[in-house]
Structure 1
Amino acid sequence: MVSSERTTADGVVPGSTIDLEQPPVDPWDEVQVPAGWEAVAAIARRVSRGIDDLAMHVVTCIEAEVPAYAPGVVPLDDIHASVARTLDMILVGIAERRAPTDAELTIRRELGVRRALQGLPVDAVVAAYDIGYRELWLALVRALPPADTQATTQLLEAATTVWSWVHDVSTAMASAHAQTTRRLEARDVGARQRFVELLVAGDIDGPEAGSLGRSLGLDPGESFTVTVVRGATDDHDAVELQRRAHALAGAYAVVTRGPLVVIVAQEGVAEETIAAIRAVIPDATIATGLERLGLRGARASLTDAELTLEVTPEATTGVFDESWLWATLNGSQERLRGLLAVGVDVATKHPHLAEAVVAFGDHGFSVSEAARRLEVHANTVGYRLDRWAELTGWDPRTFAGLVRSLAAIRSA
């Protein structure tokens, strides 16, 4: 069994298991039954004698009815012992005709904490509780003595006590679960933010980056793909993207960094990632870097994505694999300014010539295809290419001349 260490005030530390421990004294040895309530107390005690079998039946129902509790998600001994302890606690409360005590609610809060740490959503935990209450009530009904009208009447009166337990226990558990989930989310947000900052700074050789990556489900030794997004309205978009990413294949770390959202992915599917982004930010401008190995690769992929974003038209998607030349050249504008200056000047003054060069390059270096695209005669395209070569000194019909011309046109 895991540690039984515990704290006070806001619950328990991760791994505590008060609710799985047997109480030091059997509560049935100290039950105080109100006068006139003996029939219900006897029924509750009768059900308690078969608590292990009832708990196993409840566990089977939970696993069958609540997908989040599929076999193997929560250890069987954990869920069985917890169900047994909860049901027996309620039976004692029914026998004493009272609501749960603060101590009993504290134990249920612990379960809410543990289920949050195990990754179970709160609605699944509440659904599991409801199944337990349902099966407990059916067991109480089955334990009624035949033809005992008084016991039947009193058990109906006990329904008020049962539903008081349902409300108080569920509320305590759900509240503790929510508080724990918020703490976990805040911790994870901080870890994701720090991990990306280390990538940006290049501080990836020390132990911190690897440790943070592993805590986020990212393997520092495997390949990474980084995507950057422009167009988010606020930090909530990153939070929603991270939530959606949990349902995708692979591992993701999503953070806001200035005006951008940065998504570090491992073993993700590019199409699924883009679809998730579009679902949250329909008009986003998206750029994805190359898949690269290790933390240094993650840093390089981030650079890929940032460079690609600069040459990606608004509200579209760009990938470095396709835009690498323009993305790389765009980052070297100052160094290439003198090299491209003539072409920039000609493209600015004679945009129809630049348009012919681009069409020629985009349509298989075919004058006729470029003419069809521009809806002009092929001789017109040929003339414009010649005129471009005359003004710039670069022949767009050659590889070197075309690349230099297109780089200048993009710069213009």
Structure 2
Amino acid sequence: MYTATGEESTEEGRPTTPDRPVQGTSTAELAEILRERLDQLSEGATAAVLEQLPSFRDCGQDAADLLATVRQFLNAGINAVAESRSATTASEADIARAYGARRAVQGIPSEELTLSFYVALRAVWIGFPWNTAHGDFLATLVGAMERSMLWLQNLVATVSAGHQQALVGTWLDVSVVGKQLLNALETAGTSEADVRTALERLGMDPAGSFQAWVASSPDDSATGRLLHTRLEQHPGRCVVVHADGQLVLIGQHTEASAVEAALTEAGAAVVGAGLCREGVAGARHSLADARRALRAARLRPGVHRYADVWLSALAEESAADTRPLFEDAIAAARTHPHLADAVRAFADHGFSVAAAARAVHLHANTLTYRLDRWRELTGLDCRDYMGLVTSRTAVELV
């Protein structure tokens, strides 16, 4: 049987508590073994969490603070082992609930928060001095492990409840201030000072750049809360407002692809995206861009960026003034949608008959015939600049 004598060193040369042989069967003795190695086990569990869960590395918390938290929960778990209990105490529940809320504010996803406890537990059991466990002590160890798992499940449930409660509270706060910001951006006569105040309350820099998105969505606050939670996990700041059957998002230092993917996952089928613009005036203009792009989308699924649809968006907005320019082309597109498809393909594939024909699965001669037929019906030749611009805009206004 292995018996330790004197002080031993790890591979790194640090002194450790020597492993002592165990012959008894008491859970109190098991707890004592764990408590003697509390610092070493805490360090191993902390390192495992930081290595395996990126959000814990990126949340801005000092590693020493995480180590202290791990040590606190591990010590509580050892107390539960010593007392042969699986239920959490009132004090443990209060600490767990507050910890969950703190992690929510830091942006740690619920899934990673839950997983962190099991990653830490696995590291603890890997670091356990198994060479000291002999005879009937193993039976005591198995029973303690079963109870510790139940205790951990109760603890994690409380942590998750604190996390969820904090998220709901944070979402409500952001939603209220976000609606104030939306009203300030879209109400004529609102002072720039009022907009700046709302932006600062939302953690945004009024002098920074902004990008807006607008999507049709049922009046369901759960969708907005879901988006808020998902986007909190990404870089930058994005305010989500649900108002009048639409989701409005205003982002700063956000990745457009991440925002648009989150909108799609949340069920937003048609999205208008504004240009990225600077300052308070830029926030107003980007929001207007996004609304124009959404109108120009005409319920067609997908993300419609103002940078791509600005021409048809402007034509849509000034329909009374521009309608005579497009009337014949719109009528032809409605009556002959296959001709409209040929125009769209020609414009969207580098003005190449061959490329456009491949895109719509036609012979090049057939596509040429359809472009000629379009010119006969509308007087617009897609091979010259104004004819192409007017034709391409018209087929989007159908």
2:213–2:248 CA contact under 8 A, matched in 1: yes
Contact 2:241/2:249 (<8 A) preserved: yes
After superposition, the Cα gap between the structure-2 partners of 1:347 and 1:166, relative to the gap in structure 1 and judged at 3 Å, is closer
1:56 equivalenced with 2:43 (yes/no): yes
Cα deviation code 1:179-232 (max 9, x no counterpart): 222222232233333322221225764555334434545332122222322365
Distance 1:154 1:289, change over 3 A: closer
Corresponding residue number in structure 1 for 2:102: 114
Take 1:341 and 1:113, find their aligned partners in 2: how far apart are those partners?
Answer: 60
User: 1:302 — aligned with what?
Assistant: 287
Mapped to 1, the partners of 2:155 and 2:260 lie a distance apart of 42
Residue in 1 that maps onto 2:111: 123
Q: Given residue 102 of structure 2, which amino acid in structure 1 is its aligned partner?
A: R
Q: What letter matches 1:59 in structure 2? A: T
Q: Rate the CA distance shift 1:102–1:324 in 2: closer, same or farther, 3 A.
A: closer
Aligned partner of 1:312 among 297, 301, 319: 297
Distance 2:115 2:185 in 1: 42
**Is 2:231–2:262's contact at 8 Å kept on the other side of the alignment?**
yes
> Scaled by the length of structure 1, what TM-score is found?
0.66
C-alpha contact (below 8 Å) 1:251/1:266 kept by paired residues: yes
* 197 and 54 in structure 1: CA distance in 2 versus 1, 3 angstrom threshold: same
- 2: distance between equivalents of 1:343 and 1:120? 52
Q: What is the CA–CA distance in structure 2 between the aligned matches of 1:138 and 1:340, rounded to whole Å?
A: 74
Q: CA offset at residue 329 of structure 1?
A: 4.7
Of 148, 163, 169, 2:149 maps to 163
One-letter amino acid of the structure 1 residue matched with residue 74 of structure 2: L
Shift of the alpha carbon at 1:384? 6.5
Call closer, same or farther: CA 1:272–1:161 in 2, change over 3 Å: closer
Which structure 2 segments of 5+ residues have no match?
1-23, 352-364
Alpha-carbon distance in structure 1 between the residues aligned to 2:71 and 2:42: 5
Correspondence for 1:21: none
**Matched residue, 2:91:** 103
* CA apart distance, 1:122: 2.8
- Where 2:298 maps in the other structure, the secondary structure is coil
Deviations 1:257-304 (A, max 9, x none): 32332232334455555455445447x333333332112111122223
Tell whether the 8 Å contact from 2:219 to 2:243 is kept in structure 1 after alignment.
no
CA 1:221/1:375 → structure 2, altered by over 3 Å: closer, same or farther? same
Superposition deviation, residue 97 in structure 1: 3.3
Question: Which residue identity lines up with residue 111 of structure 1 in the other structure?
Answer: Y
Q: Deviation at 1:404?
A: 10
Any stretches of 5+ residues in structure 1 without a counterpart?
1-36, 366-370, 389-396
1:251 Cα deviation (Å)? 3.6
Q: Deviations over 1:85-144 (max 9, x none)?
A: 222223233333344422232223222222222222233233222244344456665484
Tell me, what secondary structure is at the counterpart of 2:297?
coil
Q: Is the 8 A contact 2:208 2:278 kept in 1?
A: yes
Q: Per-residue CA shift, 1:35-66, capped at 9, x if unaligned? A: xx994323423432332222112211222233
CA contact (8 A) 1:287 1:312 kept: yes
Residue 345 of structure 1: CA displacement?
Answer: 9.7
What is the distance in 2 between the residues matched to 1:137 and 1:346? 74
Q: Does 1:173 align with 2:184?
A: no
1:288 aligns with 2:273: yes
- Among the aligned pairs, what percent are the same residue? 22
1:80 to 63, 67, 91: 67
Output the CA distance in 2 between the equivalents of 1:143 and 1:380: 86
Change (3 A) 1:201 1:75: same
Pair 202,248 (structure 1): closer, same or farther in 2 beyond 3 Å:
farther
Secondary structure (helix, strand or coil) at the match of 1:225 reads strand
Q: What letter is aligned with 1:88?
A: N
Q: CA deviation at 1:310?
A: 3.0
Q: CA deviation at 1:328?
A: 3.5
Within the candidate set 180, 188, 195, 1:209 is matched to 195
Q: Separation in 2 of the partners of 1:156 and 1:398?
A: 82
* Deviation of 1:72 (Å): 6.8
Structure 1 residue 307, shift from structure 2 partner: 3.0
The aligned length equals 355
Quick one: distance in 2 between partners of 1:48 and 1:223? 52
Residue 143 to residue 105, structure 1, CA distance change in 2 (3 Å):
farther
Give the letter for the 2:292 counterpart.
L
* Matches of 1:54 and 1:383, distance apart in 2: 81
Q: Which residue of 2 aligns with 1:197?
A: 183
Conserved in 1, the CA contact under 8 Å of 2:312 and 2:397?
Answer: no
Question: 2:243 matched to which residue of 1?
Answer: 257
Query: Does the CA-based 8 Å contact 1:204-1:295 persist in structure 2?
Result: no
Alignment check: 8 A CA contact 2:44 2:124 kept: no
